[in-house]
Amino acid sequence: MDTQATRTARELGGTWIAPFGVGAMLMGTSTPEGEARRILDHFVGEVAPRFSAPDGTPARAMIDTADCYCWWEAPGTDGGQSESLLGRWLAETGARERVHLATKGTARLREFDGAFLPDGDPDWAWAYDHFVGASREVLMTSVDASLERLGTDRLDLYYVHVDDRSVPLEESVGALAGMVADGRIGGYAWSNAPAWRLALVQETARAHGWPLPATIQEEHSYLRPRAGLERVAVIGAEHLDLARASAMPIVAYSPVLKGLFSAKERRDPSFWAMASYAGPDADARLATIDEVASQTGATGNQVALAWLMAQESPQVVPLVGARTWDQYLECAEAVDVVLDADQLALLDAAGA
């Protein structure tokens, strides 16, 4: 494995990007606009320019958002805050050509009466029954609305955010392929779907001569899902096999699982971000993270990110979705953590 992989750009759908991306989910709601702009300015102006394609072309800075972000942080709205903030920032900075801009559709809600529990938390079980879905009409209108909020005429990457099995894949993939053809999107992808559905997306595209999906985006970290987990949004062995066989990179959200690689108090099985992983295997891998962090002087979060960025089969592009500047900066500095072959082997082999 290339121990310098954390210092090289990654290719995604024909575009070379920095080895990690910024997730903008909380920008405009939990992350105030001024702090969001500070993160964006630093990532696009200071981090991404350190990387380049093999021909010397500067790498782009991948920024990832969605049209539903972030209604659950702002009750009484239907989302769009993140895209709108990014649109204002892009217009004022002129940074569009330096950014690989990704957004998602299909997870806005048809209605909101019932979207929140009595304690004020979002009712996700209810929400999953009220998403707008992935029909051709929804996809076409959603892309146009995202383009308007983002203030651009083209999206570099567009995701089906939540898999919609009520709509034939020929309809969804066909709509996306049509928008690739007319230039509204540079490529498309799926998120939060089981590997077998992603294989069907590929099969559908091949059968019609349409472009293949550029990537898959799922929750993915150094920890492995616990035995018996039934949660399609978490990367499993089947996802890895599919990506490997397709030579397709994985975009990983929640790569530091709310910071628990650094914050040991969050490793309790009762902490919701730990629930999908808790068990002897996770305990062994977390102990190894701590060991390598001690060897390198890096934080646990930085070691976990450096390990992800060093993966080659398949390649992984982690998304740093920090709420604050300090959280972002800790993660961004992971590009300076170079794990040697022994450390990578130790991390790879850890587990119950």
For the record, the structure tokens of 226 come out as 């616990």
Residue 7 has pLDDT above 70, yes or no: no
pLDDT over 70, % of the chain: 98
φ, ψ for residue 229, nearest 5 deg: -65, 130
2 — pLDDT class (breaks 50, 70, 90): very low
pLDDT of residue 1: 32
Q: Show me where the domains of the chain are located.
A: 5-258+301-338
pLDDT 10s digits, 106-150: 999 999 999 999 999 999 999 999 999 999 999 999 999 999 999
**Distances from the Cα of 315 to the Cαs of 146, 249, 261, 279, 309, in angstroms?**
28, 5, 21, 26, 7
Rounded distance between C-alpha atoms, residue 260 and residue 207, angstroms: 43
Measured at the alpha carbon of residue 21, what is the angle toward residues 286 and 105, in degrees to the nearest 5? Answer: 110
- What fold does the segment set 5-258+301-338 form as a domain? TIM Barrel (3.20.20)
Inter-residue contact 170 to 207 (CB < 8 Å): no
231 — pLDDT class (breaks 50, 70, 90): confident
Q: CB neighbours (10 Å) of residue 218? A: 24
pLDDT 10s digits, 140-197: 999 999 999 999 999 999 999 999 999 999 999 999 999 999 999 999 999 999 999 9
Inter-residue contact 115 to 152 (CB < 8 Å): no
Rounded distance between C-alpha atoms, residue 307 and residue 127, angstroms: 34
Residue 236 has pLDDT above 70, yes or no: yes
Q: Count Cβ atoms within 10 A of the Cβ of residue 243 and give its class: 0-12 exposed, 13-18 middle, 19 or more buried.
A: buried
Residue 258 has pLDDT above 70, yes or no: yes
- Could you tell me where the DSSP H helices lie in the chain? 33-42, 81-93, 124-128, 136-150, 169-181, 195-208, 237-246, 280-296, 300-309, 325-332, 341-349
pLDDT of residue 233: 86
Rounded distance between C-alpha atoms, residue 17 and residue 47, angstroms: 11
- The overall average pLDDT reported for the chain is 95
- What is residue 251's three-state secondary structure? strand
